[in-house]
């Protein structure tokens, strides 16, 4: 521990011999880079103990120790590798592995980690301070809601987005006009868009109950709710596919990505993926329940209505307090 007012930090990797990750190009190795030394309040915020301001309050309240000594001075710097930090007697450590989380993206947020025009963006909704190097896997339109993955694992992200390994993505769309399952046939065959022929989509008309996420007030006369499963990821693809059959999208929601369902997370909140979910991603994803099933077969459940709220900066469902998280 050193006491200094210096703002500078030395960057280093925790993984000996690992290549330096590059969050900008998303070509990182799995281990995130943390500054070697940093201000104690910043360390506490990154460890998820409290916000930067809240961490300062913990320090001034004498609740934080570094190597057994109470640290109340806000300029205190710590060595991430060597110093032993405790809050209320509980050890605090930075998460040193790659991070994977899902965000339930609400409307009105751009899928970017920074916007020069300072419009609301998804970076505002995820714990970027705590998990530096976090970035979204793919994108959703500003007005699209639903499952958006984030990770610090550039290799996995590249795999999931690579055209050769396109994963299944399930969307629910509320569209203008009345349409039947038969009207979706062009999408099933593969519809021609401006930028070329789409791969065949799996699609069907869904009930108002299934469509709760896109039609919370019910499916009004003159509109229809449909489910569309695609593997490509072209810009505005689902909207363009449905416009092409003359049913423009009113609202769009993604409920499944690579076989992961949007569940246990409230709108505007995030949670870390479970080990099982990370395994699914690392295995290249799995088809959603509908894929490969006969038309009319039991659909995947829309889980949005079963969400639990974890607050706007929610945490993992099973280990959601500081004490539980760091003491198992
Ligand atoms: N297709 C779209 O049209 N928009 C999205 O946000 C995602 C898929």
236-294 pLDDT per residue, tens: 999 999 999 999 999 999 999 999 999 999 999 999 999 999 999 999 999 877 544 44
CA dihedral 296, 300, 305, 308 (to 10 degrees): 170
Helical spans, DSSP H, in 201-310: 237-244, 275-282
Rounded CA separation 15/37 (Å) = 16
The two tokens of residue 280 are 């699914």
Nearest one of 30, 17, 288 to 157, comparing CA atoms: 30
The fold of the 37-92 domain, in CATH, is 3.10.290
From the list 79, 83, 115, 141, the catalytic residue is 141
pLDDT tens-digit readout, 160-212: 988 777 899 999 999 999 999 999 999 999 999 999 999 999 999 999 999 99
For the chain, the residue count is 328
From 80-89, 176-185, 242-251, 306-315, the region with the lowest mean pLDDT: 306-315
Ligand 1: centre distance to CA 239 (Å): 6
Pairing of strands 33-35, 69-70: unpaired
Cα-Cα end-to-end distance for the chain: 26
* Distance, CA of 243 to chain centre: 28
- For residue 241, the ligand 1 atom closest to its alpha carbon is 3
Closest Cα to atom 2, ligand 1: which residue?
236
Topology match between the domains 37-92 and 97-163+263-284:
no
**Left (φ > 0), alpha (ψ -120 to 50) or beta: where does 12 sit?**
beta
Architecture of the structural domain at 97-163+263-284:
2-Layer Sandwich (3.30)
Structure tokens at 30: 């799995």
CB 142 within 8 A of CB 107: yes
Atom of ligand 1 nearest to the CA of 169: 8
Provide CATH code, domain 169-257. Answer: 3.30.70.1560
Is residue 141 part of the annotated active site? The answer reads: yes
Per-residue pLDDT, 34: 53
Which of 137, 237, 256 to mutate to test ligand 1, by most ligand atoms within 8 A of the CB atom? 237
CA dist 245 and 185 (Å) reads 10
Residue spans per domain, the chain: 37-92, 97-163+263-284, 169-257
Q: What is the mean pLDDT of the chain?
A: 80
Higher pLDDT: 237 or 35? It is 237
* Residue closest by Cα to atom 3 of ligand 1: 236
Ligand 1 atom with the shortest distance to the CA of 249? 3
**Model pLDDT, residue 97:** 82
**Lowest-confidence pick of 21-30, 34-43, 130-139, 291-300:** 21-30
| Max CA distance (Å), the chain | 72
Q: Is 38 exposed, middle or buried (0-12, 13-18, 19+ CB in 10 A)?
A: buried
For every residue of 116-149, DSSP letters joined together read TT---BGGGGS-TTTSTT-EESS---TTEEEEEE
Strand partners, 202: 229
Which one of 9-18, 21-30, 282-291, 316-325 scores highest in mean pLDDT? 282-291
Alpha carbon of 252 to ligand 1 centroid (Å): 7
């Amino acid at each position: 521990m050193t006491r200094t007012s210096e703002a500078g930090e030395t960057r280093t990797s925790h993984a000996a011999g690992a290549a330096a990750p590059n969050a900008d190009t998303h070509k990182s190795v799995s281990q995130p880079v943390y500054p070697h030394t940093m201000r104690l309040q910043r360390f506490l915020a990154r460890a998820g103990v409290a916000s930067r301001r809240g961490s300062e309050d913990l320090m001034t309240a004498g609740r934080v120790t570094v190597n057994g000594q109470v640290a109340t001075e806000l300029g205190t710097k710590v060595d991430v590798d060597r110093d032993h930090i405790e809050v209320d007697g509980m050890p605090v450590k930075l998460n040193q592995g790659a991070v994977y989380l899902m965000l339930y993206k609400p409307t009105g947020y751009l899928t970017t980690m920074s916007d020069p025009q300072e419009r609301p963006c998804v970076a505002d909704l995820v714990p970027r301070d705590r998990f530096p190097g976090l970035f979204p896997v793919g994108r959703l339109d500003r007005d699209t809601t639903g499952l958006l993955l984030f990770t610090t694992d550039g290799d996995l992200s590249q795999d999931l987005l690579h055209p050769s390994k396109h994963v299944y993505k399930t969307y629910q769309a509320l569209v203008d006009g009345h349409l039947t399952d038969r009207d979706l046939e062009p999408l099933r065959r593969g519809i021609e868009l401006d930028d070329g022929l789409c791969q065949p989509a799996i699609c069907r008309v869904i009930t108002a109950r299934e469509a709760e996420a896109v039609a919370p007030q019910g499916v009004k006369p003159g509109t229809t709710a449909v489910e569309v499963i695609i593997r490509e990821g072209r810009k505005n693809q689902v909207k363009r596919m449905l416009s092409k059959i003359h049913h423009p999208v009113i609202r769009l929601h993604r409920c499944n990505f690579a076989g992961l369902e949007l569940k246990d997370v409230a709108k505007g909140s995030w949670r870390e993926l479970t080990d099982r979910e990370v395994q699914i991603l690392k295995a290249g994803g799995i088809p959603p329940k509908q894929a490969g099933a006969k038309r009319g077969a039991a659909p995947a459940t829309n889980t949005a209505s079963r969400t639990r709220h974890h607050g706007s900066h929610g945490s993992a469902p099973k280990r959601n307090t500081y004490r539980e998280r760091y003491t198992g």
